[in-house]
Chain A
Amino acid sequence: MPPRESVSHTTTDSATDPAAVLSAGPAPGRPVPFFTQAASFEEAWPDIRARVSEVIDDGKYSHGRQVGRLETALAEWTGARHCVAVNSGTDALVLLLRACGLQPGQEVVVPAFSFIATASSVVLAGGRPAFADIDPVTYALDPRSAADAVTERTAMLMPVHLFCQMADMGALAQVARRHGLTLVEDSAEAIGMRWDGVHAGLLGAGGVLSFFPTKTLGAIGDAGAILTDDARIAETAAALRHHGRTGRTLAHFPGISNATELNGVNSKMDDLQAAVLLAKLPRLAHAVRRRAELAAAYTERLRGIPGLLRLPTLVPRDVATDAVFYVYLIEAERRDALVDHLAAHGVGTETYYPVPLHLQPCFSELGHKRGEFPNAEAACERTVALPFHPDLTTADIDTVCDLIRRFYTGRAA
């Protein structure tokens, strides 16, 4: 690995940084990976094996019977009228935007702080991303900044629900209504999150789910889905994922010769991935509760440590909301030095996200400058995600939190 670029104004010079001295010492606990689900997978293996065996019995390995069952099960779990399984969360975004009718040259307002797919999906669907700043507590699209980003070319508004809670969907729905915009949700991370009882992705025209392996419901490869209550959007997305072919294609080989109605793509989901997801789905509600407990354990141990600028904070809304801890993200002084310190002691972290979308090299043509979206830029300099996964134990959390305390105070708890 090349050395991490320092984003913040910090130094890791050993003469001035007590952490560098500590890094040289022996690790106080066992290594804690950023992500693993190995033990949980093994625990679920009898169910996974049974499902994968069914795939082999059926003899159709993509877009087959398990994929159809997963669509039904996810629709039931989320309350969506329609679920369309695809190859990835990114593909789900592209096909959702296309199915919602995005036209070439139209703009979609998106937050400047997110995974690249939030903005690249707009480009791949033929549109242009229009960036707006985020709320500094939820890291989600700021309704006022979103309204400021609207022009006469804007067609859609796409908030993102990151880490553990949803964007302010009440205020964003108002912005969409006021400007006549289609509201779509990048809910790739948001399985289990609800706003006033409505699952993420279903507050506007539609949303998506990603089953990237680290997700709350994770496959062992790429997979994703579109959620919508709109039959026409679902039908269009379902055709687009199978080369634009209409008529029956799911679990039906001869459908490969159906007439091509739309300029579609190949974004069929593998049945092996659907089998794994179906086996894990009955455990999801329990996993969500477990994640809340683990997050609380982190917060309890980290509260009050100097140098930590923010711990995850669930914002109360005037309607009931369900939070789901997908990622445990903190803001830290000297973030990159902390990351190095943890890595030196065998603790994995992830920097979500080191560069805001408006400053990504691939969007340089849009002409944005540093300083335009200060909350997004600050988040990129300070945030770090701590180990958080299905196999995590409170002993792991003790290890991580002790290391963080030692980094900032020079002593253990």
Chain B
Amino acid sequence: MTGPGTIPFFAPDLFEEDREVLLDLVRRTGTAGEQKFILGERTAAFERALSETLGGAEVVACSSGTSALTLILTAMGVGPGDEVVVPAYGCAPLGNTVANLGATPVFADIDPVTMVVDPAEVEAAITARTKALLPAHMFSVMADMPRMREIARPHGVRLVEDSAVAQGGVLDGRPAGTWGEAGLFSFVQVKTFGTAGEGGAVVTEDAELARIVRALRNHGQEGQRFVHQRVGCNSRFDEVQAAFQLHRLPGFPARLERRARIADYYTERFTPLGERGVVPPPPGRNGRCHYVYSLLADERDALKEHLAAHGVSSHVYYPAPLPHQPAFARFAPPGRQWPHALAASRRQLAIPINPHLTDAQVEHIADTVCAFAAGRG
């Protein structure tokens, strides 16, 4: 059953409440006397506002989370001959950003339950050519950043935190994005602090790295216009998006809390289902980000169909481990296997968690998952 009663996975009414605000911002931006549309005062104000939520870390707004990752790796000098250790399970930019700089992504297997990269696998993947570690927070769970720091330091490798999905998450009192030498956020609409378009940000406490990233995002210009100190790119931030994000920032904590409460409820309902082949993420709030609520189900496709039949849309994020995909085949050593990544790609299923869900919808979704598991006991 799909139709008007279906609970969508990707909410189409994200900014419905902000309709008039957004229209007004577009009009005011288009007709403003200053006619400054990119990297203007509102972008600077947005960067400052985010910085305040991150204990004063530098924030450099750019065109996307993917681009933020490229800017960080470029600023760190990652290039041909270098290796970067990345999770074998996750989003394509983990491999693409490294490969596009001429470096080699080295894939490390994940934890079978939390689906974040396994620290032991990361450490085992380090070689003399390793330039950086790139753990990623995944769905609702932050990677084990304290361990990543412990691993990176003695090996003398850089630590980049792919916190694209984790804005608002806090681990041991420290915000996501500030555990690595540099972190990043994505503002694509589906993220916890999504905007009405593409956008991202680099986060770092390293002022020199921030300076280089600022130059790189705007064609390598530092100071005088049209003089280019380094080969940069165009990865800038639009003023209309900055204004919209400034408008949305005060409501962000409440939206995050709504997500967290839905997750708490789901986990409470689903924890008993483990022996019936449906495994929720672990309970708790520490080190959690609630971007996506992902189950692991032995009979994933049957669960997806069952949900659909009861008016609930769900989504399979990564149908194959990164090294199994054509774009990364040349980085997959013959015979190497990533069994936990493979298992996750066969069992993972995400259910709706966006903050617009009503309590009744959330209960219906939970009931439907429980009913499926009951039928499998």
Contacts and interface: CB of A to CB of B under 8 A. Distances in A.
Interface of A: 2, 5, 33, 35-39, 41-42, 45, 48-49, 52-53, 55-56, 58-62, 87-91, 94, 104, 115-117, 120, 123-124, 126, 213, 219-222, 243-245, 253-254, 256-257, 259-268, 270-273, 276, 351-355, 360-362
Contact of A124 (B9, B35, B92, B233): B233
B308 interface: no
Given A62-B197, A91-B234, A244 B92 contact: yes
B27 A62 contact: no
17 contacts: A53-B23, A62-B188, A123-B231, A213-B35, A220-B37, A222-B63, A257-B317, A259-B320, A260-B327, A266-B63, A266-B66, A270-B197, A272-B196, A272-B197, A273-B238, A354-B227, A360-B227
Contacts of B315: 254, 257
Contacts of B93: 243, 266
Contact of A52 (B23, B66, B190): B23
B198 A270 contact: yes
A89 B231 CA distance: 16
A243 B92 contact: yes
B45 to A, nearest CB: 17
Contacts of A87: 63-64, 198, 234
Contacts of A49: 23, 26-27
Q: Which of B11, B22, B188, B197 has the most CB of A within 10 A?
A: B197
B31 A41 contact: yes
B156 interface: no
Contact of A61 (B189, B219, B226, B320): B189
Given A52-B22, A120-B228, 13 more contacts: A38-B31, A38-B32, A49-B23, A52-B23, A87-B64, A257-B317, A257-B318, A259-B319, A264-B92, A272-B196, A352-B226, A361-B229, A362-B230
Contact of A220 (B26, B219, B318, B320): B26
B67 A266 contact: yes
A126 B102 CA distance: 9
A208 B102 CA distance: 25
Contacts of B231: 120, 123-124, 362
What band does the interface of chain B fall in when counting residues whose beta carbon is under 8 Å from A? 35 or more
Contacts of A120: 219-220, 228, 231-233
Given A222-B238, A260-B96, A42 B31 contact: yes
B198 A213 contact: no
A365 B281 CA distance: 52
A31 to B, nearest CB: 11
Nearest to A124: B233
Interface of B is mostly: loop
B38 A222 contact: yes
Interface stretch (B12-20, B177-185, B203-211): B12-20
A257 B32 CA distance: 39
Contact of A33 (B35, B38, B233): B35
Given A62-B197, A213-B38, A259-B326, A351 B226 contact: yes
A202 B76 CA distance: 38
B92 A221 contact: no
Interface string B211-250: 0000000011001101111111110101111000000000
Interface of B: 9-16, 19, 22-23, 26-27, 29-33, 35, 37-38, 63-67, 70, 91-93, 95-96, 99-100, 102, 188-190, 195-198, 219-220, 223-224, 226-234, 236, 238-241, 315-320, 322, 325-328
Contacts of A262: 326-327
A85 to B, nearest CB: 12
Nearest to A90: B234
A360 B19 CA distance: 45
Given A38-B32, A263-B327, A270-B238, A56 B92 contact: no
Nearest to B98: A263
Nearest to B325: A260
B234 A117 contact: yes
A260 B326 contact: yes
Nearest to A266: B66
Contacts of B65: 266
A220 B30 contact: yes
B226 A263 contact: no
- Top 8 closest pairs, chain A to chain B, by CB: A59-B12, A221-B238, A270-B197, A266-B66, A41-B30, A90-B234, A253-B10, A260-B327
Given A120-B220, A220-B238, A244-B92, A355 B64 contact: no
A48 B196 CA distance: 16
Contacts of B14: 59
Contacts of B319: 257, 259
Contacts of A265: 66-67, 70, 96, 100
Contact of A263 (B10, B91, B95, B238): B95
A361 B327 CA distance: 34
B240 A272 contact: yes
A221 B37 contact: yes
